[in-house]
Structure 1
């Protein structure tokens, strides 16, 4: 995005801003660039910087679905089967802080007949947990183990970068260098020079890789572990930088 403002227009813009400010209070979450008195020209440059990293953590969702003719039996069977799943998660070395229950539900199952009201035929119980795996090399084996002990719902994985600060700083440096180079180009084209940076506004984003997997009541083949490819994540930073140009 490019925005040039000429000094002659600034008094009108300032007057309009004062009138609007007197009429309505500004939201506490609004972001504004303060008016800057200058005899130069303000240039607003938007630039994006990126840093790529191989993910080092993965999150999966796993759980158990059980069915029975009555609600109590469905819940009891679910609890017993889920206990084996949780034990397997602990045995894999996953700490308690990385295991979080994401949903428990019990719902009737129905039989539908023509010109008849639905008839309850049984109950279905669900229990699901989210698990963070911090050693991706073990992820395939963990998935196979969960299926072997009774997990009949497995979704994921989603990959992430555990420590993002270094990567985000790399993206910031790239973005500011792009903005600076673009400002220098505009200044040279206009026979001007870049005097200073007036303001910097930052926004960030994170692009996880797309591969996903889903397993439901599957028998895992003996031998090799389930194949998992973490790919590469892109962390990006978007900067809006206001420069002052002058002669």
Structure 2
């Protein structure tokens, strides 16, 4: 019968031995890491080496079928001309037809108007300029837009990304060094943006003079920016 109290005493001692380190751990204090949020940015110029254009024909008349035949005939002729230029990609664009109402407010349809477009795309600016000038003998120019080709834009974004990351790391080192600390990156976010140069003014005239229509296209450049933001932890 004396053995039982002895066993209980040993078990109690074991619990105390295990619990003591736990209480000791609870008493320890941990200094929270100091964090700093910062950002950096870099830009690269991307050459506008891709030209896109929209040309259209618009006609109206009292008979919808007759208007459609005229518009379709002129669009077909323009597509035939454009397809002879291997450096220019051509495809049909939007086509729409709508009624023309009388001005007496009675809702009478007096005619029909139809508009049909073709879309051009080329990296050969000289070929694009020449074709647009030729097509303007029958079609009107909606607009021409200059922008970087997809691969040109990707290259500029990649280069700007490397520059932005280096700028972020340099700024992080500067901040940590000024505080006499080292650092490690805790979070990082990378994004990019870009803007197009102003789009040339849309021309409503059915045709332009040969001198203006055949003027060379100047691509220029678009700026592509990459933004890097994140958080660093200062360490000893």
- TM-score tier, shorter chain, comes to 0.7 to 0.9
Query: Within 1, Cα distance between the matches of 2:213 and 2:94?
Result: 31
Q: Give the match's secondary structure for 1:127.
A: strand
Question: How far apart, in 1, do the equivalents of 2:142 and 2:215 lie?
Answer: 12
What CA distance in whole angstroms lies between the structure 1 residues aligned with 2:52 and 2:140?
A: 17
Structure 1 residue 74 and structure 2 residue 62: aligned? no
Structure 2 CA distance, aligned partners of 1:89 and 1:198? Answer: 55
Change in 2 beyond 3 A, CA 1:223/1:66: closer
Tell me: CA distance 1:208–1:135, structure 2 relative to 1, closer, same or farther (3 Å).
same
Pair 1:154–1:93, CA change in 2 (3 A): farther
State which structure, 1 or 2, has the greater radius of gyration over its C-alpha atoms: 2
**2:100 is matched with which residue: 98, 106, 109?**
109
8 Å contact kept, 2:47–2:147? no
Q: Shift in Å at residue 153 of structure 1?
A: 4.0
Q: Is the 8 A contact 2:186 2:233 kept in 1?
A: yes
Q: Is the 8 A contact 2:126 2:216 kept in 1?
A: no
Gaps of 5+ in 2: 1-30
Q: Give the paired residue count.
A: 205
SS at match of 2:167: helix
8 Å CA contact retained: 2:60, 2:112 = yes
Distance change >3 Å, CA 40–CA 100, structure 1 → 2: farther
4+ runs deviating over 4 angstroms? none
Offset at residue 39 of structure 1 (A): 4.9
Query: More displaced, 168-177 or 216-225?
Result: 216-225
- Alpha-carbon shift at residue 223 of structure 1 (Å): 8.8
Unaligned runs of 5+ in 1: 1-37
CA RMSD of aligned residues (A): 2.4
**Correspondence 1:189-200 to 2 at 5 A:** 189-194=178-183, 196-200=184-188
Aligned residues of 1:207 and 1:234 also touching (Cα < 8 A): yes
TM-score when normalising by structure 2? 0.77
Higher helix share: 2
- 1:80 Cα shift? 0.0
Q: Using the alignment, how far apart are the partners of 2:141 and 2:61 within structure 1? A: 17
**Shift in alpha-carbon separation, 1:241–1:100, aligned structure 2, 3 A:** farther
Which of 28, 41, 46 aligns to 1:48? It is 41
